[in-house]
Chains A and B, each alone.
Chain A
Amino acid sequence: MSRTIDAVVSPTQTNTIPADISGHMLDLDEDDDLEVFSKDSTLADGNMFNASMPTSPGSMVNQCKFEEDEESDSKDIFITVDNPESHVTAIETFITYRVLTKTTRSEFDNSEYEVRRRYQDFLWLKGKLEDAHSTLIVHPLPEKFVVKGMVERFSGDFIETRRKALHKFLTRVADHPILSCSEDFKVFLSAQAWELTTYKKQGPGFLSRMGETVRAVANSVRGVKNRPEEFTAIQEYVEDFSNKIGSLDKVTQRIVKEQKEYLEELKEYGPTYTLWSGSEEELAEQLKGVAGCIERCCKETEEQVGHLSDTLVPVLHEYVLCAETLKAVLRRRDNIQAEFEAKNEALATKKVDRDALKEEIDKLEDRVEWANNALKGDWGRWQRSMRGDLKSAFLSTAEKNVDYYEKCLAVWETFLLSQRTEPSEETDRDNTP
């Protein structure tokens, strides 16, 4: 697809250009890094805690029970994302997707909704969720721009990949005990286009968000002093995980590339046997047989590469983005704690209105506790999802590879059988094992 789809750029976003990911032969130790973008830098570092929020953090926790376990089997909300359509206006061209929701939840007025959403809308939703729940782990969105190599010939097109990723995003939000209760989520699923536009305009404006960002930056510069051990452990894990998943992503993309080049050569190989058969008499049938086998193996190889591109590559890439999300969540948690610590210190040193300050500090302390609990709870959830997703993707890949080899085996065994049933004047020959 051409890049005109992504021509709309939000003024607040920074665009990073991806580095060339075609690494050296077999050597992936050098960091030809896959730059992760779609990072919305203002939202990531922003702190949206607003003292005048209608509900206190405590009551929000009560509203939706924090499940230690996975989503219960009785899902009460089902979402599909399909039907991409192109829209052309005077200024831009963009794609919208149909988002279909079926739910029995009481906070929804209807049981079914059908709306059309564009990528920007998804970005908005993600931003709102992160603002409201800065230490919960929100599943990443697919990238805004086309990454070289992500657009695979065999995996259908870019739109299909994106559609699947958007669907995954919404499903994860819907499965999340806290996030799925978000008002913004509800509006996203149910509001008509113009209603959504109006709704988006509410809430803290651009300037106030900037103010928050400045504070956040100031806090992060100061740094957190007494980070609890468990969060340091999580951070170390995330660091390692990020490296590993990044490597896996690169390795897998390399495999896809090599496999495709193998396929190209293989496509030229079969015809040389056919050409040869034209010059032979006794051998002609056999040579054509070999050519046929190679051709069929080509088809199987094509399918196998397609599967890899459709199944394993997107999942690994998703978790590369997840790792960045996790880092951001940990940073935000640190900032919340840093803010509290700063105020606490001020209490000891500055000559200010101690009572007012004390009240503020108490609120910040609550906030820290709530943020930590949210993160701790979500951390377990995230790990379980990660294990499930990656296990399933690798399993599927292994199964497909077995299937691929089994099919090729059948091709050659059939050929061999056809040769051996011919009356041969040769004596019994030993075949090399």
Chain B
Amino acid sequence: MMADSGPKDVAVIGNTELTSAELDNNIKNTMVEIEKGTSLLRKMEISVAEAEKRTGKNTVNMQEMYTVYLIETRPVDALTEGITPDSLWRRYSEFELLRNYLLVTYPFVVVAPLPEKRAEIVWHKLSADNMDPDFVERRRVGLENFLHRVASHPVLCNDNIFYIFLTEDKDWKEMVYETGFQAKADSRLKAVNAAFRVKNPDGRFTELKHYSDELQTVLSQLLRVRARVADRLYGVYKVHGNYGRVFSEWSAIEKEMGDGLQSAGHHMDAYAASVDDILEEEEHYADQLKEYLFYTDALRAVCRKHELTQFELEMVALDLACKKQQKEELVTGTVRTFSLKGMTSKLFGQETAEQREAKLQVLEQQLKEGEEAVKEKNTESDEFVKTAWVDIERFKDQKDRDLKEALISYAVMQISMCKKGIQVWTNAKECFNKM
């Protein structure tokens, strides 16, 4: 989970009062900057240092218990300007709000996912509780990881709302709502409709959609089975603890064998205890895989946006083609397609030249507007495809790097587990030898 490090350009962190238009402008500026890859993390250290339980009244005025996380920021080194050490508390729901804002505002970006809201794929019943300290701890790590992902993203790191999330305690929520991002959000219905009816989506996006579905299926299964394996391994190790107890009791009634049994028993206890650390480490590996499982949602979101954009373009183009044909019919007087107008004019006589002229005028105007619309939509679509694909390539590289590293660390974990096993049983063997 290393941050991107880019060239020396320093992002300009704007002031706190940006209008929506200026925000849009910011986005356009930063789109140009993508290739240069600036990163907030180069200047600022971000950590989610602690978690605390609070009680408070919720929206329906009932007492509830929730967890808050402490976000600390400080300059990377003494020479960095413009950053002062700061800290504030945020709830999980605020992280969610931030992410939704980013999703809507930068639909061409594969936005990093948040850690699980509720513990779902767990290996041990204990962790199913949201208040469980282990779960809270893993969530804290996940939230920190999320912030690092955003802060190292060439586009997202420049977002002002993000910066304020990290640094300003009061009124952040109001500021987010004021951006009006919720209005910009595409309705689910629109998106689903577009997905069905779009005719010529870019093949790469279709492929990406399939890939993200596959990856989701495969990772879900893998994580489920891994959790079951971990559960079983736990059982095997823990039962050996009984050897410890029985050997110890047995050694009390034996003369020659007593010492050997007693010490062997200690090693059995150690063996049983060692599984806790082993599985704790593996949990970290599982979290790395889970992040990419949740990333598939973000991938699909980008694909959906493309389909929507493409669909809208197709609709506008279709409309233009329709108008063109209407004009042609009007000019040449031929009616290629059935229309009520055509029928009535056949029945009740042609319209006057003036009427025709008026209609033509209107159509010309509409044609002009239509062509503008198509041009605009085309540009929009092209821009989207271009910027989205850049980010997708970035994501793919990141994914390959991260998962390669995760698999290597998994192998390292297995090696460590084997080494511990060798040690314990070699020691036990020595003890049995003394029996």
Q: A279-B218, A419-B411 are in contact. Are A399 and B429 (CB under 8 A)?
A: yes
- Contacting pair A273 B232 (CB below 8 A): no
Is the C-beta of A409 less than 8 angstroms from some C-beta in chain B? yes
CB of B18 closer than 8 Å to a CB of A: no
- Residue-by-residue, is B405-429 near A (CB-CB < 8 Å gives 1, otherwise 0)? 1011111111110110110011011
State whether A272 touches B239 (Cβ < 8 A): no
Q: Are B253 and A387 in contact (CB under 8 A)?
A: no
Whose C-beta in chain B lies nearest to the C-beta of A408? B418
Interface string of B53-67 (1 = CB under 8 A from A): 000000000000000
Residue of B nearest to A419 (CB): B408
- What distance in Å separates the Cβ of A134 from its nearest Cβ neighbour in chain B? 25
Closest Cβ of chain A to B215, distance in Å, is 6
Interface range on chain A (Cβ under 8 Å from partner)? 35 or more
B106 within 8 A of A: no
Least CB distance from B42 to A in Å reads 15
Within 8 A of A (CB), among B300-322: none
Contact status B425-A402, CB under 8 Å? yes
In contact, A258 and B236 (Cβ under 8 angstroms): yes
Q: B95 — which chain A residues lie within 8 A by C-beta? A: none
**Docked-complex contact A268 and B225, CB < 8 angstroms:** yes
Whether, in the assembled complex, B403 has its beta carbon less than 8 Å from a beta carbon of chain A, the answer is yes
Q: Which of A264, A268, A391, A416 contacts B411 (CB 8 A)?
A: A416
Q: Does A423 contact B (CB under 8 A)?
A: no
Q: Within residues 237 to 276 of chain A, which ones have a CB less than 8 A from any CB in chain B?
A: 237, 240-241, 244, 247-248, 251, 254-255, 258-259, 261-262, 264-266, 268-269, 272-273, 275-276
Nearest Cβ on chain B to A170's Cβ, whole angstroms: 26
Binds B, one of A49-57, A207-215, A370-378, A424-432: A424-432
Chain A, 396-410, contact with B by CB distance < 8 Å: what is the 0/1 string? Answer: 001101101110110
Per a CB cutoff under 8 Å, which of B211, B232, B239, B432 touches A265?
Answer: B232
Which residue of chain B has its CB nearest to the CB of A416? B411
Contact call A412/B228, Cβ cutoff below 8 A: no
Determine the residue in chain B with the shortest Cβ distance to A262.
Answer: B232
A283, B403: Cβ atoms closer than 8 Å: yes
Would you call A122 an interface residue if the criterion is a C-beta within 8 Å of the partner chain's C-beta atoms? Answer: no
Decide: A412 and B226 in contact? CB cutoff 8 A. Answer: no
Which residues of chain B have C-beta atoms less than 8 A from A278's C-beta? 214
Interface string of A4-32 (1 = CB under 8 A from B): 00000000000000000000011010000
Query: A412 to B429, Cβ gap below 8 A?
Result: no
Residues of A within 8 A of B35 (CB): none
With an 8 A cutoff between CB atoms, is A76 at the interface?
Answer: no
B228 pairs with A409, CB closer than 8 A: no
Asked whether B40 is an interface residue with its Cβ less than 8 Å from the other chain, the reply is no
A395 at the interface (CB under 8 A from B): yes
Contacts of B246 in A (CB 8 A): 244, 247-248, 251
Task: Answer whether residue A415 sits at the interface, using C-beta atoms and an 8 A cutoff.
Answer: yes
Tell whether, in the assembled complex, residue B250 and residue A394 are in contact, meaning their CB atoms are under 8 Å apart.
no
* A266 pairs with B229, CB closer than 8 A: yes
**Is A286 positioned at the interface, with any CB of B under 8 Å from its CB?**
yes
Complex contact A416–B408 (CB within 8 A): yes
Contact across chains for A409 and B435 when beta carbons are under 8 A apart? no
The answer to whether B415 touches A412 (Cβ under 8 A) is yes
* Interface residue? A282 (CB, 8 A): yes
Could you tell me the distance between the alpha carbons of A427 and B242 in the complex, rounded to whole angstroms?
46
CB proximity of A297 to chain B, nearest CB, Å? 8
The B interface is mostly helix, strand or loop, or mixed, namely helix
* Contact A258–B411 (Cβ < 8 Å): no
Q: Which of B190-222 contact A (CB under 8 A)?
A: 211, 214-215, 218-219, 221-222
Of all chain A residues, the one with the shortest Cβ separation from B268 is A251
Answer whether residue A390 sits at the interface, using C-beta atoms and an 8 A cutoff. yes
Q: A276-B218, A405-B418, A412-B415 are in contact. Are A258 and B239 (CB under 8 A)?
A: yes
Give residues 380-412 of B contacting A (CB, 8 Å): 400-401, 403-405, 407-412
Tell me whether B221 and A275 are in contact (CB under 8 A). yes
A165 within 8 A of B: no
Does B372 have its Cβ within 8 Å of any Cβ on chain A?
no
A271: shortest Cβ distance to chain B, in Å? 9
Q: A288-306 vs B: 1/0 string, CB under 8 Å?
A: 0010010000000000000
Does B433 make an interface contact (CB < 8 A)?
Answer: yes
One of A283, A398, A404, A416 near B428 (C-beta < 8 A): A398
Is B257 on the interface with A (CB-CB < 8 A)?
Answer: yes
Judge whether B235 is part of the interface by a CB distance below 8 angstroms: yes
- Cα A261 to Cα B243 in complex, Å, equals 20
The reply on A413 being an interface residue by CB < 8 A is yes
- The docked-state distance in angstroms from the alpha carbon of A240 to that of B254 is 10
Pair A258/B410 contact, Cβ less than 8 Å? no
CB distance from A11 to the nearest CB of B (A): 39
Across the two chains, which residue of chain A brings its CB closest to B405? Answer: A429
Contact A391 B281 (CB under 8 A): no
Complex CA gap A165/B239 in Å reads: 27
**A264-B225 Cα distance, complex, nearest whole Å:** 11
Q: Is A433 an interface residue (CB 8 A)?
A: yes
Q: Judge whether A330 is part of the interface by a CB distance below 8 angstroms.
A: no
Which residues of chain A have C-beta atoms less than 8 A from B241's C-beta?
A: 26
Does residue A287 face the partner (Cβ distance < 8 Å to B)? yes
A395 touches B238 (CB 8 A): no
Interface string of B237-280 (1 = CB under 8 A from A): 01111110010011001001100100010000000000000000
Interface centre among A399, A426, A431 (most CB of B within 10 A): A431
- Residues from chain A with a CB closer than 8 A to the CB of B429 are 395, 398-399, 402
Neighbouring A residues of B253 by C-beta, 8 Å:
237, 240-241, 244
CA distance A276 to B256 in the complex (A): 55
| Bound Cα distance A276, B413 (Å) | 21
**Interface: B343 (CB within 8 A):** no
Instruction: Report yes or no: B411 in contact with A412, Cβ–Cβ below 8 A.
Output: yes
Is B407 a contact partner of A432 (Cβ separation < 8 A)? no
Partner of A433, one of B222, B407, B408, B416: B416
A261 to chain B: which residues have CB within 8 Å? Answer: 232, 235
Q: Are A401 and B421 in contact (CB under 8 A)?
A: yes
Q: Which residues of A contact B412 (CB under 8 A)?
A: 416, 431-432
Q: Are B404 and A286 in contact (CB under 8 A)?
A: yes
Interchain CA distance A431-B410 in the complex, whole Å: 10
B181, chain A: closest CB distance, angstroms: 33
Question: A426 touching B235 by the CB < 8 A rule?
Answer: no
- Which residues does chain A contribute within 8 Å of B400, judged by CB atoms? 282-283
**Contacts A272-B225, A402-B426 known; 9 new A-B pairs at CB < 8 A:** A248-B243, A248-B246, A265-B229, A390-B435, A401-B428, A402-B421, A402-B429, A408-B418, A432-B409
* 20 examples of A-B residue contacts, CB within 8 angstroms: A26-B239, A244-B249, A251-B239, A251-B242, A251-B243, A254-B239, A258-B232, A259-B236, A265-B231, A272-B222, A278-B214, A287-B407, A293-B411, A398-B432, A408-B414, A409-B415, A416-B415, A431-B408, A432-B284, A433-B416
> Closest 4 CB pairs between A and B?
A405-B421, A262-B232, A409-B418, A398-B429
